[in-house]
Structure 1
Amino acid sequence: MSAVQFQRQLGLSRYETAFGILHKLRAAMVRPERDKIGGKPQEHVEVDETWVGGRTRGEGRGVHHKVLVSCAVEVRRRKPGTKLDNRKDGRYAGRVRLAVVPDRSANSLGSFVENAVAPGSLIVTDDWSGYAGLRKRGFDHHAIAECGDPEIAEEFLPIIHLVFANLKTWINGIHHGVSAKHLQAYLNEFTFRFNRRFYPFNSFRSLLGIAGGAAAPTFDGLYSGEWTHPTFSGCG
Structure 2
Amino acid sequence: MARNRVQFQKGLSLNEFLRQYGSEEQCCDAVAQWRWPEGFICPFCGSDQYCQLAYRQLRQCNRCRRQTSLTAGTIFASTKLPLTTWYQAIYLITQDKKGISAMELHRHLGISYNAAWRLKHKLMQVMLERDQNKPLSGFIEIDDAYLGGERSGGKVGRGAEGKTPFLAAVQTTDQSQPVKIKLTVIKGFRSDELLEWSRRHLTPDSTVISDGLACFNAVTEAGCEHDRIVCGGGRASVEEPELHWVNTILGNLKSALRGTYHAVRPKYAQRYLSEFEYRFNRRFNLVNLLPRLIYVALRTPPMPEKLLKIGLV
- Is TM-score (shorter-chain normalized) higher than 0.5? yes
Aligned residues: 208
Please report how far the alpha carbon of residue 103 of structure 1 lies from its aligned counterpart in structure 2 after TM superposition: 0.5
SS of 1:98 mapped into structure 2: strand
Unaligned ranges ≥5, structure 1: 79-90, 229-235
> Given the alignment, which residue of 9, 17, 32 partners 2:108?
9
In the alignment, the residues of structure 2 paired with residue 137 and residue 215 of structure 1 have an alpha-carbon distance, to the nearest angstrom, of 31
> Given the alignment, which residue of 293, 304, 310 partners 1:207?
293
Equivalent AA in structure 1 for residue 265 of structure 2: S
Q: Is residue 146 of structure 2 the alignment partner of residue 67 of structure 1? A: no
Deviates more, 1:148-157 or 1:102-111: 148-157
> Given the alignment, which residue of 135, 140, 159 partners 1:45?
140
Query: Sequence identity of aligned pairs in percent?
Result: 26
Please report how far the alpha carbon of residue 149 of structure 1 lies from its aligned counterpart in structure 2 after TM superposition: 6.6
In the alignment, the residues of structure 1 paired with residue 279 and residue 145 of structure 2 have an alpha-carbon distance, to the nearest angstrom, of 20
Runs of at least 4 residues off by over 3 Å: 149-153
SS of 2:240 mapped into structure 1: helix
Conserved? CA contact 1:71–1:160, under 8 Å: yes
In the alignment, the residues of structure 2 paired with residue 184 and residue 114 of structure 1 have an alpha-carbon distance, to the nearest angstrom, of 19
Between the two structures, name the one with larger relative contact order (CA 8 Å, sep ≥ 6): 1
CA RMSD of aligned residues (A): 2.0
Q: Using a 3 Å threshold, how does the CA distance of structure 1 residues 61 and 70 change in structure 2: closer, same or farther?
A: same
> Given the alignment, which residue of 224, 241, 247 partners 1:139?
224
Equivalent AA in structure 2 for residue 136 of structure 1: E
In the alignment, the residues of structure 2 paired with residue 32 and residue 126 of structure 1 have an alpha-carbon distance, to the nearest angstrom, of 25
Deviates more, 1:199-208 or 1:121-130: 199-208
Please report how far the alpha carbon of residue 32 of structure 1 lies from its aligned counterpart in structure 2 after TM superposition: 6.6
Q: What pairs up with 1:108-119 in 2 under 5 angstroms?
A: 108-119=193-204
Q: Is residue 245 of structure 2 the alignment partner of residue 159 of structure 1? A: yes
> Structure 2 length normalisation: TM-score?
0.62
Please report how far the alpha carbon of residue 35 of structure 1 lies from its aligned counterpart in structure 2 after TM superposition: 2.5
Equivalent AA in structure 2 for residue 220 of structure 1: K
In the alignment, the residues of structure 2 paired with residue 32 and residue 190 of structure 1 have an alpha-carbon distance, to the nearest angstrom, of 11
Please report how far the alpha carbon of residue 198 of structure 1 lies from its aligned counterpart in structure 2 after TM superposition: 1.5
Q: Is residue 128 of structure 2 the alignment partner of residue 35 of structure 1? A: no
Q: Using a 3 Å threshold, how does the CA distance of structure 1 residues 164 and 33 change in structure 2: closer, same or farther?
A: closer
Conserved? CA contact 1:49–1:71, under 8 Å: yes
Conserved? CA contact 1:98–1:191, under 8 Å: yes
Q: 2:180 aligns to what?
A: 95
> Given the alignment, which residue of 7, 19, 23 partners 2:117?
19
Structure 1 residues 83-107: Cα deviation after superposition (integer angstroms, max 9, x where no partner): xxxxxxxx33210011100001011
Q: 1:104 aligns to what?
A: 189
Deviates more, 1:94-103 or 1:197-206: 197-206
Conserved? CA contact 1:72–1:116, under 8 Å: no
Please report how far the alpha carbon of residue 9 of structure 1 lies from its aligned counterpart in structure 2 after TM superposition: 0.9
Structure 1 residues 34-80: Cα deviation after superposition (integer angstroms, max 9, x where no partner): 421113xxxx10011101111235xx4225311001011112255xx
SS of 2:228 mapped into structure 1: strand
Conserved? CA contact 1:69–1:101, under 8 Å: yes
Please report how far the alpha carbon of residue 110 of structure 1 lies from its aligned counterpart in structure 2 after TM superposition: 2.1
Structure 1 residues 193-230: Cα deviation after superposition (integer angstroms, max 9, x where no partner): 1111111112112212211221343222233x2x54xx
Equivalent AA in structure 1 for residue 185 of structure 2: V
Conserved? CA contact 1:126–1:145, under 8 Å: yes
In the alignment, the residues of structure 1 paired with residue 227 and residue 171 of structure 2 have an alpha-carbon distance, to the nearest angstrom, of 15
In the alignment, the residues of structure 1 paired with residue 302 and residue 120 of structure 2 have an alpha-carbon distance, to the nearest angstrom, of 10
